[in-house]
Amino acid sequence: MGFDGRTSARAVRSEVAGARPAPLGREAVQDARLARLADYRPHSVFGQLTKPDLSAREVEVLLTWLASDSKEQAAEALFISASTVSTHLARIRAKYTAVGRTAPTKTHLFARALQDGYTSLDRW
């Protein structure tokens, strides 16, 4: 089990792999490819993405930073310091990590904002 009480994907894969004979030839490559793709799929509950509970201010800081070239530029637009922008982004990343949807880069955070409906491609 994972630290949050759910069974980890790795544990499920190893349990399933132990329950059936190892595939041969091309099937082995295909099974390995599927396992790797599954690692990158977002966690979901009944087909829905698990969405972190971001505050309105966190969403505002996230979208302003995504539209900016730097944290300093976002800070100027929001009338806050660059370190405050960094703090908000760290908390946003922690919330995404807590629901199993890591976002270590700006591109990942942009993808999460699109997936969760905080913005749309039309806006960009």
pLDDT tens digits, 43-75: 555 556 788 999 999 999 999 999 999 999 999
Structural tokens at position 119: 């913005």
Tell me the average pLDDT across 113-124: 89
- Better-predicted residue by pLDDT, 62 or 3: 62
pLDDT at 50: 85
Cα 92 to Cα 1, 7, 8, 29, 86: the distances in Å are 25, 25, 23, 37, 10
State pTM to two decimals: 0.62
- Measured CA to CA, the distance from residue 77 to residue 23 in angstroms comes to 57
In the 8-state DSSP scheme, what is residue 122?
G
Q: What 3-state DSSP class applies to 2? A: coil
Q: How confident is the model at residue 80 (pLDDT cuts 50, 70, 90)?
A: very high
pLDDT at 49: 72
pLDDT at 1: 47
Domains of the chain, each with CATH number or no CATH: 9-41 (no CATH), 56-123 (1.10.10)
Work out the angle at residue 36's Cα, subtended by the Cα atoms of residues 34 and 40, and round it to the nearest 5 degrees.
Answer: 110
Q: What 3-state DSSP class applies to 86? A: helix
